[in-house]
Amino acid sequence: MHDPTQLNRQGPDVGDSYRTAIFYLDDNQKNIAEEVKALAQKNHKDPIVTEITKASEFYKAEDYHQKYTENTGRGMCHIPYQAIDQDTY
């Protein structure tokens, strides 16, 4: 859905809040993330810049950001919004 070789941006959005990142809780998760990143790198010419960082305190986004696409009907980046049939899952 996005280009993991772009540093601190996704499409027209720029800044470190648009960086790609994987947050891990323990060494096992960190090792898995590093392995997956290495495997994914084989599919990209440019280096993958996705950060692999130990998880820290989590801050929930403001209410108006919650379920953004569902509430606004607008897609994200180049992906159009389509509602998911909850009965399917």
pLDDT tens digit string along 44-71?
Answer: 999 999 999 999 998 888 988 788 777 7
Does some domain include residue 1? no
Does residue 53 or residue 2 have the better pLDDT?
A: 53
Does some domain include residue 4? no
| Bridge partners of residue 13, in order along the sequence | 10
Structural domain range at position 25: 9-88
Q: String of b and e for 65-86 (b: at least 16 CB within 10 Å)?
A: eeeeeeeeeeeeeeeeeeeeee
Q: Looking at the 3D structure of the chain, how many domains does it have?
A: 1
The whole model's pTM is what?
Answer: 0.67
Is the pLDDT reported for residue 89 higher than 60?
A: no
Does some domain include residue 28? yes
Does residue 65 or residue 82 have the better pLDDT?
A: 65
Query: How far separated are the first and last CA of the chain, in Å rounded?
Result: 21
